[in-house]
Amino acid sequence: MSATTVDTATPDAAASGDVLRTKSWKGPIGLGAVALISLLVFGIGTPSGADTTFSVATSSDFVHLPTLTIASKLAAIVLSVIALALAGYSAYLANQYRKPGLWLPIVYGMAVMGALLSWAGAGRDNTSIQVTGLLTSSLFLAVPLIFGALAGTLCERSGIVNIAIEGQLLAGAFFAALMASMVGNAYVGLIAAPLAGALVGAVLAIFATKYWVNQIVVGVVLNMLVIGLTSFFFSTVMSDNPDLNRSLGLAALPIPLLSSIPVLGPVLFDQNLLVYTMYVVVIVFQIMLFKSRWGLRVRAVGEHPKAADTVGIKVNRTRVRNTILGGAIAGLGGAFFTVASGLAFGKEMTAGKGYIALAAMILGRWSPRGALAAALLFGFADALRVQLGIIGSDIPSQFLAMFPYLATIFAVAGLVGHSRPPAAEGIPYKK
Amino acid sequence: MKLELRGITKKFGDFTANDSIDLVVEPGTVHALLGENGAGKSTLMNVLFGLYDADGGEILLDDEPTVFAGPGDAMAAGIGMVHQHFMLVPVFTVAESVMLGHEEVTGPAKLLDLGAARAKVKEISDRFGFHIDPDAVIEDLSVGAQQRVEIIKALSRDAEVLILDEPTAVLTPQETDELLDIIGQLRDNGTAVVLITHKLREVKAIADQITVIRRGKVVGTAEPTASQEELASLMVGRDVSMTVSKEPAQPGEPMLVVEGLSVVDPATSLKHLDRVSFEVRAGEILAVAGVQGNGQTELAEAILGIVPTAEGAVTLDGSRLTGSSIREALDAGIGFVPEDRTEDGVVADFTITNNLILDLYDKAPYSKAGAIDTAFAAKNAKEQVERFDVRTTSSEALAGSLSGGNQQKVVLARELARDLKLLIASQPTRGLDVGSIEFVHKRIIEERDNGAAVLIVSSELEEVYALADRIAVMYHGKIVDIVPPDTDRDTLGLMMAGAHEEEAA
């Protein structure tokens, strides 16, 4: 029996390889359906002859851009048709077993959003759609989601499910307000917030790795605990001493030159220190998680802890460290609600943002870059709701508020492919 | 490097897994550690590798006493281990898997030096002719290739002692031969190899020294020239016959007819079973051979109706089974011994008595006026325990307290209690000791001689040869061919890799 016999005896099934593959139509169908709705509602539904005004100019621009007024109906129809064409292209790709690149959902999303805005702003002569303002508030509203989703990513990549992001945000918000008020300097809040979040993370880590308690249960309990504690101190200590809960704000620090770029400049580079920190944190962890020794080990621990253990990596130590680090990052995100927004602490002021951050983590497929993109999408939807409220839209704002979560469900179900969490997440490592 | 273990003792609670074991492995030799499942071989190696702390004894490397706090220490000292269940991260590339734990970094930012890792994988792969692509993702590799990655992992750390824990359990016969060649090469390069196994053929093929372990103790050493019977009796502690005698089959009418059966994975839409057709006659044993994961499990489950079938038909004794419930299939006369007996075969927290009536509890005489007749069930249990030689203190003991072999006897006793037209048994003797294997095989042959059709799924060729009247070989969800039981090992092996009989012979 010679070795060559094995080679020539390649079986049919293996030679033709993937004959068993099936075509995935979920994505194209979803995209097509939404584009069609866009065409019917925003395109056909817009009254003829109405105009929509987009204004992009702000006073700080060097280059003055005029406001843009377009025929609403035409714009909505053209944009909807573009979206429909993209859906068709993705169907063409699916027919050839291929997946569209990242550009497709982005361009598609912009087209549908444009159609929506054209329709919503149609015939409102006194107001215009503030593009710069819309983008700025998108980014601003996304900040806590980005920190939260990043925290979730760091924990889950090491195998710990962190449902306690909500609690970590709230603890960060509370402690930032308290410490900043005591010292009288908002920047102190940026140091205090991660400490509070790390503390919540540490409790989660200990229960998850030392006592093997169900991580979701511990997370939910921690959220309740933080809500209880902060509400208690808010209505006792803080209300007795208003000096301990002052509205201090971080000043915007425009970056010279960069902040003068039209449209994007004021959006990205006229922000406060917390937002700049967010840029750095996302970039650093994107590189660290996928290109560094630390990242490789963390991912190994989250995927196959026993394999990591057999090459001398301390599984539970890695998990504890990551969970505390994740807690600190979520805590820092909590500072957004108080010192970075110039507000005093309020009861349950995080209002479920921690859970939305978890959705952003899943939509972003457990990567810092993806978390950023998903959080921005959610932030945009939130900002859009506010914007449409201002110009007086016909859509009930609750429906707009629902939109990003509908999008998440669709996206997770098919558009971005099968989303795959770290294999060992939520499972305690016992030797 | 010379490795010596002196008086290693490891206890789990009251259970002594290793009882002062001594072992010496010289460089440039292959030392086989032979013993049945549960004899304590893997425990010993996990102690050596620093995964468990020993309760007594010492480890000497080149006559220097050494203490390992963890696997990292063991590897630094030059000990490499290829675990029975591979320690590879499925989503990593080969290069990432090999570098994990001793990563080289480069540049001012100290990022991973993937280039160096790739080069290392390539160098070792070329040196031994492994044909491993450093950028391949682990989960896309065949089991044999994953094992070679594990060996590269150990060698990349300059392992001078290489422990292989049941390395051939998941390999085809050809892959097994390739592995034995690799072990030979490593030995010639001066590596000390410890081969943990319960397969006598491999031990005789490659080992220079043999140490036999039984119930946590060294019970003897043997030369590779010792006969298989001698080694087996050392391993089990009494004389065992290696083959169960059986009369030639007296096949009757076709009992089970399977036509164009397909099973599709709902999550991935992949076909586990692709238009499989065959028949099994009354009074005949058809053994399905194949490397694990080629659709055998799904075949057995689809016939009973545990997994839904996408297309095709199953007929038992002339009446159609497809579309009927599991209960109807069982009532039609199918006995089913599942692959994973602890998960699917017995309810661990139930007594033996209750496990024996899991499928009969609602039928007379086990049930009376809608309630279980506990007295009758107890009487039944007593008889069955005796008849099937279940070693237990009482039939009221929990099934979970039994050893694997005795659990399997309970499953068999339950399934054979009804009048069967068809017995389906998946991996009926996996993990059983040689004595229990003999018993289980005898019972299966008895059932055949009583006129039932028998379908055996087994990834152990020894078992296939011991039982089969005809052998069906499966590969990638299809039946490659059905061949007579005297087909030789090499031909079967090639068929298990997808070659048809004419090509393979």
- pLDDT digits 0-9 by tens, B138-171: 988 888 899 999 999 999 998 999 999 888 877 7
Q: What is the pLDDT of residues B462-488, one digit of tens each?
A: 889 999 999 999 998 999 999 999 998
Cβ contact (<8 Å) for A20 and B270?
Answer: yes
Q: What's the confidence (pLDDT) of residue A314? A: 93
Per-residue pLDDT tens over the stretch A93-127:
888 877 777 788 888 888 888 888 888 888 776 67
Listed residue (B215, B224, B231) closest to B31, CA to CA? B224
Of A6, A293, A314, the CB nearest to B103: A293
Helix (H) or strand (E) holding B163: strand B161-165
Say yes or no to pLDDT of B200 above 60.
Answer: yes
Query: Mind telling me how many Å the CA of A189 is from chain B's nearest CA?
Result: 30
Alpha-carbon gap, residue B119 to B94, rounded angstroms: 11
pLDDT at A189: 94
pLDDT exceeds 50 at position A13: no
Query: Quick check: A30 pLDDT over 50?
Result: yes
A293 touches chain B (CB under 8 A): yes
**Is the Cβ–Cβ distance between A172 and A230 less than 8 Å?**
no
Q: What is the mean pLDDT of chain A?
A: 85
**Would the pLDDT of B447 be above 90?**
yes
Q: What is the mean pLDDT of residues A190-203?
A: 97
- Please give the order of strands across the beta sheet that includes B311-316: B271-281, B254-264, B311-316, B319-320
DSSP string for residues in B63-112: TEEE--SSHHHHHHTTEEEE-SS----TTSBHHHHHHTTS--EETTTTEE
- Of 3.40.50.300, 3.30.1490.20, 3.40.640.10, 3.40.50.200, the CATH number of B3-236 is 3.40.50.300
Q: B92 and A303: CB-CB below 8 Å?
A: yes
List of residues 6+ apart from B267 with CB closer than 8 A: none
Give the predicted TM-score (pTM) of the model: 0.79
Q: Is the pLDDT of residue A46 over 90?
A: no
Is A280's Cβ below 8 Å from some Cβ in B? no
- Whether B325 and chain A come into contact, CB under 8 Å, resolves to no
By the CB < 8 Å criterion, does A48 face chain B? no
B241-333+419-505: CATH homologous superfamily?
P-loop containing nucleotide triphosphate hydrolases (3.40.50.300)
Contacts of B87 in chain A (CB under 8 A): 304, 306-307, 310-311
**Tokens 């480890």, located at residue:** B59
Q: Mean pLDDT for chain B?
A: 89
Q: List, as one string, the DSSP characters of B469-487.
A: SEEEEEETTEEEEEE-TT-
Find, in chain B, the residue whose alpha carbon is nearest to that of A293: B112
Interface probe for B, chosen from A156, A296, A306 (most Cβ of B below 10 Å), is A296
DSSP-derived pairing of the beta strands B3-12 and B15-25: antiparallel
pLDDT band at A402 (very low <50, low <70, confident <90, very high): confident
Mean pLDDT of B289-312: 88
- Test A306 with B87 for CB contact under 8 angstroms: yes
- Per-residue pLDDT of A243-263, as tens digits, reads 999 898 898 898 888 888 877
Query: For chain A, which residues make up each domain, given as ranges?
Result: 26-127, 132-250+278-371
Whether the complex's predicted ipTM is more than 0.85 is answered with: no
CB A273 within 8 A of CB A190: yes
Instruction: List, by residue range, all CATH 3.40.50.300 domains of chain B.
Output: 3-236, 241-333+419-505
Q: At residue B241, does pLDDT exceed 50?
A: yes
- The per-residue pLDDT for B505 is 58
What mean pLDDT is predicted for residues A370-384?
Answer: 88
The answer to whether the bond into A144 is cis (omega within 30° of 0) is no
List the one residue out of B232, B167, B219 whose CA is nearest residue B193: B167
Q: Which residues, 6+ apart, have CB-to-CB distance to B86 below 8 Å?
A: A307, B146, B147, B149, B150
Nearest to B503 among A9, A14, A420 (CB): A9
Q: Is B498 on the interface with A (CB under 8 A)?
A: yes
